[in-house]
């Protein structure tokens, strides 16, 4: 599997590590010449300073990994699809449903695959709870509590596209879209919701909210409460999902949904759960569990062996759709 990376920032560097292990990195593209050259030199591949120059080179590759700022995902993915490449797009898929729909159309027209990074689906506790739900081990779901209490300080946003409405979009897109994806994947669609959000700490380094609370009702009748903030003092505190069901209660917790903290079920028990990978460490902050290797293994399996896609463009659109609905339901 031959891969091109667009975007040589921290997440692009993480992609390059896994590509080198699983496939072959063919080229790097970044408008920041220094970043692009550094990553390219490290992996001994050519560097391009514009998407136009990259696509005009007509390189022999199977996949383009889009690792650029959120607001550029749609443009870069669509151009790569039209150029004849499969695409793996980092989260969020885009910043609007309209952009997501355009990406899906480009994928269909070009007859090329569109993958979206949702690496939290590969967390061992998440996979275990997904199996429990698929086997009806919890019975009817009564209610759900999703929480993410993380820290993103001034240094994270300083001198960056992060924090801008145009390129970042908001904390639900950048920090918490993985959590929203898991909510939809594990519990299902949401029928009704009400949102309260705001820049409650009066930060001047962001153009949007720093905290968000959502009350909702799922189409299956379950009630839900979602609580997100980037104001956890000094460091990340918790990323958790608690499910209360007719035949059991489970809680996935830890800092980044990395532990099965609680389980009490009728006739079921999760034992010998693998520890999983550490969190992605980007220097000044940490993120979700480092599962990009699992993402690339699935992409490779799909492209070479016609396996089932773990996450496709429709999944990415569903996440963006719910994020837009959450913002629209603000009171």
Rounded to an integer, what distance in angstroms lies between the CA atom of residue 92 and that of residue 97? 11
Under CATH, domain 121-276 is a member of which superfamily?
Dihydrodipicolinate Reductase; domain 2 (3.30.360.10)
* CATH number of the structural domain 2-116: 3.40.50.720
Contacts of 44 (CB under 8 A, 6+ apart): none
If we measure between CA atoms, which residue out of 188, 186, 196, 185 comes closest to residue 221? 188
Rounded to an integer, what distance in angstroms lies between the CA atom of residue 95 and that of residue 98? 9
pLDDT digit string (tens) for the chain, length 331 residues: 999 999 999 999 999 999 999 999 999 999 999 999 999 999 999 999 999 999 999 999 999 999 999 999 999 999 999 999 999 999 999 999 999 999 999 999 999 999 999 999 999 999 999 999 999 999 999 999 999 999 999 999 998 999 999 999 999 999 999 999 999 999 999 999 999 999 999 999 999 999 999 999 999 999 999 999 999 999 999 999 999 999 999 999 999 999 999 999 999 999 999 888 887 777 777 787 789 999 999 999 999 999 999 999 999 999 999 999 999 999 8
Determine the pLDDT at residue 294.
96
**Contact by Cβ (8 Å): 59, 41:** no
Determine the pLDDT at residue 275.
83
**Contact by Cβ (8 Å): 115, 89:** yes
**Contact by Cβ (8 Å): 66, 79:** no
Sequence ranges of the chain with CATH classification 3.40.50.720: 2-116
Rounded to an integer, what distance in angstroms lies between the CA atom of residue 323 and that of residue 328? 9
Query: In this structure, what token pair is assigned to residue 292?
Result: 């990009």
Determine the pLDDT at residue 145.
98
End-to-end CA, the chain: 48
Determine the pLDDT at residue 70.
98
Q: Which residues pair with 240 in a beta bridge?
A: 147
| Residue ranges in 161-281 assigned as alpha helix (H) | 171-174, 177-186
Sequence ranges of the chain with CATH classification 3.30.360.10: 121-276
Rounded to an integer, what distance in angstroms lies between the CA atom of residue 251 and that of residue 261? 6
Determine the pLDDT at residue 77.
98
Give burial (CB, 10 Å; 0-12/13-18/19+) of 140. Answer: exposed
Contacts of 95 (CB under 8 A, 6+ apart): 70, 71, 73, 74, 169, 173, 320
Q: Where are the beta strands (DSSP E) in 54-185?
A: 63-66, 86-89, 114-116, 141-149
């Amino acid at each position: 599997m031959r891969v091109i990376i667009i975007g040589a920032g921290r997440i692009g560097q993480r992609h390059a590590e896994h590509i080198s292990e699983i496939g072959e990195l063919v080229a790097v593209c970044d408008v920041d010449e220094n970043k692009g050259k550094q990553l390219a030199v490290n992996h001994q591949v050519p560097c391009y300073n514009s998407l136009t120059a990259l696509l005009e080179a007509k390189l022999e590759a199977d996949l383009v990994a889009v690792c650029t700022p959120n607001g550029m995902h749609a443009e870069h993915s669509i151009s790569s699809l039209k150029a004849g490449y499969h695409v793996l797009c980092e989260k969020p898929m885009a910043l609007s449903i309209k952009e997501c729909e355009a990406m899906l159309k480009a994928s269909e027209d070009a007859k090329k695959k569109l993958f979206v990074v949702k690496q939290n689906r590969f967390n061992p506790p998440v996979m275990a709870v997904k199996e429990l739900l698929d086997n009806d081990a919890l019975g009817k779901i009564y209610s759900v509590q999703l929480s993410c209490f993380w820290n993103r300080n001034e240094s994270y946003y300083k001198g960056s596209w992060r924090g801008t409405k145009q390129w970042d979009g908001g904390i639900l897109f950048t920090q918490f879209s993985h959590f929203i994806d898991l909510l939809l994947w594990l519990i299902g669609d949401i029928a009704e919701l009400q949102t309260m959000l705001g820049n409650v700490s009066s930060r001047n380094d962001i153009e949007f909210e720093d905290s968000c609370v959502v009350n909702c009702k799922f189409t299956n009748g379950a009630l839900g409460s979602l609580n997100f903030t980037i104001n956890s003092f000094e460091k990340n505190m918790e990323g958790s999902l608690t499910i209360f069901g007719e035949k059991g209660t489970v809680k996935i917790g830890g800092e980044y949904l990395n532990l099965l903290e609680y389980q009490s079920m009728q006739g079921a028990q999760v034992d010998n759960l693998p520890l999983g990978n550490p969190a992605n460490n980007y220097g000044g902050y940490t993120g979700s569990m480092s599962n990009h290797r699992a993402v690339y293994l699935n992409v490779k399996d799909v492209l070479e062996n016609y396996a089932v896609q773990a996450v496709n463009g429709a999944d990415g659109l569903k996440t963006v759709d719910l994020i837009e609905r959450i913002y629209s339901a603000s009171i």
